[in-house]
Amino acid sequence: MYPSNSLEGNPKGQGLVEYALILVLVALVVIAALMILGPVIGNVFSQINSSLSVIGAGGGGSGGGGGAIATPTTAASACDPAFLQACVATGGTCIVNASGVDVCIHP
């Protein structure tokens, strides 16, 4: 009979060490990805935050409001002529929102 070698150990312990090494490797990859993509993700959230701030700038009341989203037009050429005529005929004001869509606002 040969003497027991202490390096042979328990195979269950070896599996546990392998799982721990895989976990450490995955953690390092995640940390590296976050360090690289962190500023990009931060910029996306900053843009979303500033967009929401602009949307909420003039809001309030039950109808909301557009504040900085829609600006009243001073020139008739800014709105579609047919839309402008129909809007004015109903007592409204033609505005163009941030997406370039004509909107008729009634007081």
53 assigned to some structural domain: yes
Structure tokens at 27: 């953690």
Helix (H, G, I), strand (E, B) or coil at 70: strand
4 assigned to some structural domain: no
Which letter does DSSP use for residue 3 in this model?
P
6 assigned to some structural domain: no
Distance in angstroms (rounded) separating the CA atoms of residues 105 and 46? 31
pLDDT of residue 22: 96
Domain span at 23 = 11-105
pLDDT of residue 62: 47
pLDDT of residue 68: 45
pLDDT in tens, 31-82: 999 899 888 888 888 888 877 766 655 544 444 444 444 444 444 447 888 8
For Cα atoms 19, 22, 23, give the angle at the middle one, nearest 5 degrees: 85
2 assigned to some structural domain: no
The number of distinct structural domains making up the chain is 1
65 assigned to some structural domain: yes
pLDDT of residue 15: 82
Average pLDDT, the chain: 74
3 assigned to some structural domain: no
